[in-house]
Structure 1
Amino acid sequence: MELLQVLKRGLQQVSGHGGLRGYLRVFFRANDVRVGTLVGEDKYGNKYYEDNKQFFGRHRWVIYTTEMNGKNTFWDVDGSMVPPEW
């Protein structure tokens, strides 16, 4: 039973990121692949997620936008890219 739950969670991660290509893109960019509920999006295009199955402090995260103010930010991400209201 536990193996089936692990396989199910793995398939959710791959399908939740738009297939294998999206999964690998997130993995190589963020070095961590998670599945959660989309909480919101800010004016810059950053997306905020939440997964209450994770422990406190790791249950919320942000996927940064790939372009901000005309600058390519695919590899150059920084915590200051998040507006104060989030």
Structure 2
Amino acid sequence: MRHVAAVILGGLLMCTQAFAGPQASGAAVGDKSVTAAHAKVASSQAEVDRLQQHVGQQESVSRDAAARLQQQDRTIAQLREQLKAAQKTSKKPVDGH
């Protein structure tokens, strides 16, 4: 009876060792995939940061261009007023002629 119990116990120990081996390598594979996922997240975050910086630069350029256009619109409006004033004075009859 003791011999049978020893054989069963030995068999159980061998089974636990057999199952423990793949689990350990499975954990290593899991660690690698987690590390790869972290690297992918870091890479994606760097790309997001770069794109946000680019968008910020483009917004700045756009604001500057809009400000220049507004200034040009004001200048055009002033020149139109000056032209109208000049046209009015040229249409008035000159005294003595």
The structure with the greater share of residues assigned to strand is 1
Structure label with greater radius of gyration: 2
TM-score (norm 2): 0.21
The structure with the greater share of residues assigned to helix is 2
